[in-house]
Amino acid sequence: MVTRIMRHEWRLLGADRTLWVVVPLLAAIIGYGVYNGALWVRFQEQTLRAAGEEEAGRHARAKAEIAEIERRGKQVQPFLDPRSAAVASGRAGVRYAAMPPAPLAALAVGQSDLYPYYFKVTRQSRQTFVSNDEIENPANLLSGRFDLAFVIIYLYPLLILALAYNLLSAEREQGTLAMMLSQPVALRTVALGKAGARALVVLLVAVGFSLAGFLLVGADLARGDVWWRLLLWVAVVALYGAFWFALAVAVNAWGKSSASNALMLAGLWLLFVLLVPSLLNVAVTAAYPVPSRVEMIQATRRASAEATARGSQVMARYFEDHPELAGDGAPDFNDFYTRSLALQEETERLVGPVTDYFDRQVLGQQVLVDRFRFLSPAVVTQAALNDLAGTSAERYRHFLSQVGAYHQSWKAYFAPRIVSKASLRPEDYDRAPAFAFREEPAAAVAARASVGGAGLLVATLLVAAAAVAALRRYRLA
Q: Determine the pLDDT at residue 383.
A: 93
Tell me the torsion sign for CA atoms 164, 193, 17, 212.
Answer: positive
pLDDT at 439 > cutoff 50: yes
Mention every residue, 6+ apart, whose C-beta is less than 8 A from residue 134: 116
What would the pLDDT profile of 233-291 be if each residue is shown by its tens digit?
Answer: 999 999 999 999 999 999 998 888 889 999 999 999 999 999 999 999 899 888 888 77
Average pLDDT over every residue of 466-474? 86
Q: Is residue 11 part of a domain?
A: yes
Q: How far apart are CA 101 and CA 16, in angstroms?
A: 42
* Half-sphere exposure for 292 (CA within 13 Å, toward CB): 3
Full residue range of the structural domain in which residue 451 is found:
1-293+376-477
Residue 105 · residue 225 · CB < 8 Å: no
Provide the number of structural domains found in the chain. Answer: 1
Q: Is residue 60 part of a domain?
A: yes
Residue 68 · residue 352 · CB < 8 Å: no
Q: Is residue 321 part of a domain?
A: no
Listed range (54-68, 179-193, 385-399) with the worst mean pLDDT: 179-193
What would the pLDDT profile of 173-183 be if each residue is shown by its tens digit?
Answer: 877 777 776 67
pLDDT band at 112 (very low <50, low <70, confident <90, very high): confident
Q: Determine the pLDDT at residue 477.
A: 61
Q: Determine the pLDDT at residue 48.
A: 94
Q: Determine the pLDDT at residue 142.
A: 47
Q: Is residue 355 part of a domain?
A: no
End-to-end CA distance of the chain: 24
- Neighbouring CB atoms inside 10 A of 272's CB total 20
More confident site: 37 or 324 = 37
Q: Determine the pLDDT at residue 139.
A: 46
What would the pLDDT profile of 445-458 be if each residue is shown by its tens digit?
Answer: 999 999 999 999 99
Q: Is residue 359 part of a domain?
A: no
Q: Determine the pLDDT at residue 138.
A: 47
pLDDT at 134 > cutoff 60: no
What would the pLDDT profile of 23-33 be if each residue is shown by its tens digit?
Answer: 788 888 888 88
What is the overall mean pLDDT for the chain? 82
pLDDT band at 318 (very low <50, low <70, confident <90, very high): low
What would the pLDDT profile of 46-70 be if each residue is shown by its tens digit?
Answer: 999 999 999 999 999 999 888 888 8
- Neighbouring CB atoms inside 10 A of 301's CB total 12
Q: Determine the pLDDT at residue 82.
A: 87
Q: How far apart are CA 344 and CA 308, in angstroms?
A: 9
Mention every residue, 6+ apart, whose C-beta is less than 8 A from residue 336: none
Q: Is residue 364 part of a domain?
A: no
Most confidently modeled range among 115-129, 286-300, 384-398: 384-398
Q: CA 164 → CA 169, 171, 174, 253, distances in Å?
A: 10, 12, 16, 12
Q: How far apart are CA 460 and CA 463, in angstroms?
A: 5
Q: How far apart are CA 442 and CA 229, in angstroms?
A: 9
Q: Is residue 165 part of a domain?
A: yes
Average pLDDT over every residue of 160-186? 79
What would the pLDDT profile of 79-106 be if each residue is shown by its tens digit?
Answer: 788 888 888 888 888 999 999 998 888 8
